[in-house]
Structure 1
């Protein structure tokens, strides 16, 4: 029967791509690490890692085992936390998976409130580019809780926390901003070149689908990996962009327009099973403090 230590060693070697770096991270010698991995391979009946000249990668058998190893480690950590809570102690770490845009626009006031209420409980944040990637990571045991778009066909509990709005950003001197206009039809921007997101980024999908719904495919003037960069580039005149309203800061230099028809996305917290007390407390803090639509944007968009 594989031990938790062996599973931890396997996961760390795969994540680091190197026995040397994994041994340093785990504070063990490389021979001891290699011995435990070989023992795990004997226990499961085949090679889990392919040792290449400059890296280590999982074999097909290793890739099949990896999500179960991650889930077992996550379950063990949750068990440790539950035991500490039962003895009157608080867990040292809560693992949270989310999207880059959500960590930028929605979570800061939540984490501030959490820190005030639970100063000894640390948050480990796992950020993903796309909602599908987030859902898959959560299903394989990456974190205790996920915060992002409502997942499809999810078997565990889902708590909706609100609906975020998307806005179009243009420079202040853009023709669409004449006389302080606050609305724009997306199809009126069909001939423009856009500040787009990199392929594989979840907001690239939102932008493409929103434009397709009104009959065009947006051309990219520039593509960015960074959610926060898109509104700044749009305000600088590189082209319009579509961004969650909650990532637009107060006193922003660009001009913000509500698209017609409106573009909205429901956000939720979801877990694999019934939340333990600590995870449940975080969900309540999230529901009370999530910045789905900031007040400065609420005033601007009403």
Structure 2
């Protein structure tokens, strides 16, 4: 198998017309080039160059292999450029796993900026309802970083973006409408729009109700917190959702006292991520957690 170095030397000699000039350009010696090209000719079992008193010329075999030799050298140079660009965080691919409600307020601004500032980087986005499912996806190596509420357990790196407020959304004309604040116990006294069992937010809210000595009267469930907020505004009941689920709409929102909130974090695998994941992480942390408008 011809070595890349031998092909590089062959191309250089053909470009410059002599071993001496090629050696000068490549900072080596004519004898070193001659030795490598002789080995290449033995490998191919045919002469590639006519050695003339003043320079060299390609043989028929040399002319035949020249195009492929150039492609091999150019491909190797492209591999080097791409590898270095990826290492520097200016090219490549970053796979982002994200909780559904966090995509628009937290990840989308970073994605938009990266499309403008890092056109050679491909960002792949996968969305999840469950923080635990997302964490399992990341742990399986199918994503480079995850953006979610803090999961129950994680063996890799955890970077805190901030604390996201959780609020009640009440229908128009509801007894809680217009209230300055409310409590978990007050909400539990009314029909509630709940989330699908197994959802991390559902488990957390169920625990809050238990701590308050009550249970939520769930009349309808949905897998998506944003849908829960829409159902509440439509009159289905009271929804308890993170502010990222509001879509920027404060209609019907009542804050809790004491305030409720959850940590929004970025997860990286154990040992951290590559340069691209690190740069994406830095931009996410700079943006902070979603806040109530």
1:256 is displaced (CA, Å) by 0.6
Bigger shift: residues 125-134 or 237-246: 125-134
Query: For residue 184 of structure 1, what is the aligned residue in structure 2?
Result: 182
Equivalent-residue separation in structure 2 for 1:155 and 1:125 (angstroms)? 22
1:96 is displaced (CA, Å) by 0.9
Query: For residue 264 of structure 2, what is the aligned residue in structure 1?
Result: 267
Q: What SS does the aligned partner of 2:225 have? A: coil
Find the structure with the greater CA-based Rg: 2
Query: For residue 83 of structure 2, what is the aligned residue in structure 1?
Result: 83
Deviations 1:212-237 (A, max 9, x none): 22111212211112222111110111
Deviations 1:223-263 (A, max 9, x none): 112222111110111110111112213344x3111112322
Query: For residue 37 of structure 2, what is the aligned residue in structure 1?
Result: none
Equivalent-residue separation in structure 2 for 1:198 and 1:155 (angstroms)? 26
Equivalent-residue separation in structure 2 for 1:93 and 1:212 (angstroms)? 44
For structure 1, the residue ranges without an aligned partner over 5 or more in a row are: 1-78, 297-302
8 A contact 2:89–2:276 mirrored in 1: no
TM value normalised by structure 1: 0.64
Equivalent-residue separation in structure 1 for 2:106 and 2:273 (angstroms)? 21
8 A contact 2:145–2:277 mirrored in 1: yes
8 A contact 1:149–1:265 mirrored in 2: yes
Q: What SS does the aligned partner of 2:85 have? A: helix
Q: What SS does the aligned partner of 1:160 have? A: strand
For structure 2, the residue ranges without an aligned partner over 5 or more in a row are: 1-78
8 A contact 1:164–1:266 mirrored in 2: yes
Compared CA separation, residues 269 and 261, structure 1 to 2 (3 A): same
1:290 is displaced (CA, Å) by 4.0
Q: What SS does the aligned partner of 1:237 have? A: coil
Equivalent-residue separation in structure 1 for 2:272 and 2:152 (angstroms)? 18
Q: What pairs up with 1:280-291 in 2 under 5 angstroms?
A: 280-291=278-289
Equivalent-residue separation in structure 2 for 1:239 and 1:128 (angstroms)? 25
Q: What SS does the aligned partner of 2:176 have? A: helix
8 A contact 1:113–1:289 mirrored in 2: no
What value does the CA root-mean-square deviation take over the aligned residues?
A: 2.6
State which of 199, 213, 216 in structure 1 corresponds to 2:214: 216
Compared CA separation, residues 87 and 247, structure 1 to 2 (3 A): closer
8 A contact 2:85–2:92 mirrored in 1: no
8 A contact 1:109–1:291 mirrored in 2: no
Equivalent-residue separation in structure 2 for 1:89 and 1:237 (angstroms)? 48
8 A contact 2:131–2:200 mirrored in 1: yes
Deviations 1:22-52 (A, max 9, x none): xxxxxxxxxxxxxxxxxxxxxxxxxxxxxxx
Compared CA separation, residues 129 and 82, structure 1 to 2 (3 A): farther
Compared CA separation, residues 194 and 88, structure 1 to 2 (3 A): closer
Compared CA separation, residues 103 and 81, structure 1 to 2 (3 A): farther
8 A contact 1:161–1:267 mirrored in 2: yes
